[in-house]
Each structure stands twice: as structure tokens, then as C-alpha cells.
Amino acid sequence: MQTFFIVGVQRSGTTLLSVMLGNHPEILLERRSLAFRIITGFKNLYDLTPHHLDVTPEDFMKWLIENDEGGRLAELMDYENIQQYKTVRELIQQSINKKLVAEGKQIWGDKSPNLQHYLSDLLLLIPDAKIIHIVRDGRANAYSMAKRTPRHLLLSAQQWVDGNVFGLVNQQLLGEEQYHLIHYEKLLQSPEKELRKVCGFLKISWQEEVLSTVDPDLPEDKRYVKNFLDKRKMDTWKDKLSEKEIRKIEEIQGPLLRRLEYTPETGNLRVRPLSLRRRIVYNQLDNVKMLFRSKKTAMINKEMVEVRISLKNRVYKFFGNFTRDFLSFPIFKAVFWRGFYKRKKMK
């Protein structure tokens, strides 16, 4: 089984890369992100098994997959034949193999932004998975994130640092044979050169189809990715951000920008990562904005849609985000996952 995951900080080009690689005739790339459902679904075993010790492990596992949120695990896993598999790893591996055979493909892929933070959980289940981590200029990323979401510009800048430091460390831990870094800007400027490297990393043949940014499974008016590589996106931040905003971002990102081959605009740069206090303040300011945001534009299955958010969900998320900054995780889980445990009880 060949498996790979496209990861990176949100707004870094994960969707563009997934559309291009999804056009490769040997690749089966999931439309809906599955990595977090795989991780969460099977990590639930730790929390839920103590409540279901009166049933067989096979029946409990089958029930867990059938009741996974959104039905994503059930779409992938061969849970009807769960008795055939000795371990969860074997279940995942053989389920993916069966899907590849059914689709006539050679390699299975998934796109899950921010997955680099949870790699230890993923590799526990799929130890041989290959990771493609796409990196974008931190200033462009922070601007794009703050524009698309209510997230504070400087909090976005810090989260770019946090997410890409994970990428550097993960590559050191796993090696370049399993963890590959690609730059968004280089992909736009030299797509064939960069994608040939990706195909070599995945050990699949080079195919011209990957140069296309067209998602053939969606009508043109529904596509999130443009039908051409838009190089203008690389430098939009230079015109949209003030000198003061650029300086503040670079005070947070400076050393990592240089490490990732980007050049800061500010001379004599003072390095000032966000303090814990400022992170909490900005996070809670964003939290208040989200409370009054009844709809948002989002990408679902690589399609741009407008999503309405009920007042109940907004209030629940508000209190959840508020307390996450001030409570330990066990206390947070006990308070806000009470409904989860009740909902997940077998009948």
C-alpha cells in the first residue's frame, strides 16, 4: 500500500497541490479530508472502551466506525468484514488497498491542512505514510488568513511559525525519504520542476496531467482552484499590508522566513514572537467576532460554498474556545465532551 498526505498551514496551497496531484492517473486522492477522522475515530478507543467492555472488540470497533461523525470512516473502512483483520493498522491498510483496486489506482492520498501537528498520532496507525508539506511565504499566509477568516493578523503570523516549525522538525525526525517540503511560490513559478520532484518522492511515473489545475469532477462555477496558476498571489501582501504590519509580522516570523529561503523586508529586525498573553488576547478577540458571524464562505470537498452557522453552534464554540485558553485539557474535555460520551454510548 502506498499512502501519502498533503499537509501545511492553512492558506498555504494545500488545495492547489491536491487538485494537481489528483489529476495523476495513478493517484486516488480523497475529495473529503480523512486524516483527522482516522486519527480521531481510533483515538476514541482510549476514551470509549472503558464504557463498552461488555461487548467484543470487533463489535465495538464496527459500531465506532458506523457512528463516526460525517460517515467518513464508514466510506473508507471495510468494517463489514472486520473479523478478518487482526489489528487496526491491518484494517486501515487493507481497506485502502481494496479501494485502490476498485478504482484502478496505485497510490492513495489525502489533503489535511495542519496535520503536521498530529503526525505521531497518524504514524501510529499508518507508519509508512509519506508526507508532502507545502510552505508559503509567511507574510502572504498571514494576510490571506486574516482576510479570509476573523483571525487576528499577528496570531495568523505566529501560527504560521508554529505550523512550519513542525514541518522542519518532522523532516529531521523522519528524513527526506518520508517527509518532503515544497514551496508554494516555486510550484507557481516552476510547476513541472517541482512536481517532478514530488512524483520522484512518491515513486510514481511523471505524467503531464499533473500540470493542470482543473478539477474535472466539478463544474467550472463551483471550482475553488482557478484553471491557471495565478502568480499574482505571491506578492499581493506587499500592496495590501502597511509597512508597520509587515514589520510586526516579520518580528514574529523573521528567523523562520530566512530558514525557509524568504527575505524579510525589514532591516535590523528585532525578533519578538507572540507572548502567551498576547496569543490569548488575540484568540479571544477573534472568538468574540466568531460569535456574531452567522455565515461564512468555506471550501467543502474542494468546492466554495456559503455555510450558515446556527446561534446554538456559535454559542457552544464561543464557550469552548474561551475555556480552552484557561482550563487544562482534561477539565475542558470533561465539561465540553459530556455530550460526546452520551451520544457515543452503544444501545
Nearest to 26 by CA among 206, 216, 194, 180: 206
Q: Of the given ranges (20-29, 86-95, 222-231), which has the lowest mean pLDDT?
A: 222-231
Query: Quick check: 61 pLDDT over 70?
Result: yes
In this prediction, residue 342 carries a pLDDT of 47
240-286 pLDDT, tens per residue? Answer: 999 999 999 999 999 999 999 999 998 888 889 999 899 899 989 88
In this prediction, residue 216 carries a pLDDT of 80
User: Cα separation of 116 and 6, whole Å?
Assistant: 9
Query: Quick check: 300 pLDDT over 80?
Result: no
Listed by start position, the domains of the chain span: 2-137+155-210, 280-347
Query: Quick check: 226 pLDDT over 70?
Result: yes
Average of per-residue pLDDT across 41-70? 88
Confidence of residue 225 (pLDDT cuts 50, 70, 90): confident
161-191 pLDDT, tens per residue? Answer: 999 999 999 999 999 999 999 999 999 999 9
For the domain 2-137+155-210, what is the CATH code? Answer: 3.40.50.300
Tell me if 64 sits within 8 A of 343, measured CB to CB.
no
In this prediction, residue 156 carries a pLDDT of 96
Confidence of residue 230 (pLDDT cuts 50, 70, 90): confident
User: Which residues are paired to 4 by β-bridges?
Assistant: 109, 130
In this prediction, residue 298 carries a pLDDT of 64
User: Cα separation of 142 and 152, whole Å?
Assistant: 9
Tell me if 257 sits within 8 A of 138, measured CB to CB.
yes
Cell numbers 514551496 correspond to: 183
**Can you give the pTM of this predicted structure?**
0.90
Q: Which residues lie closer than 8 Å to 196 by C-beta, 6 or more apart?
A: 206
Q: Which residues lie closer than 8 Å to 96 by C-beta, 6 or more apart?
A: 1, 3, 76, 108
Average of per-residue pLDDT across 114-118? 96
More confident residue, 321 or 201: 201
User: Cα separation of 148 and 220, whole Å?
Assistant: 22
Other Cβ atoms less than 10 A from the Cβ of 67: the count is: 15
User: Cα separation of 180 and 170, whole Å?
Assistant: 10
In this prediction, residue 1 carries a pLDDT of 62
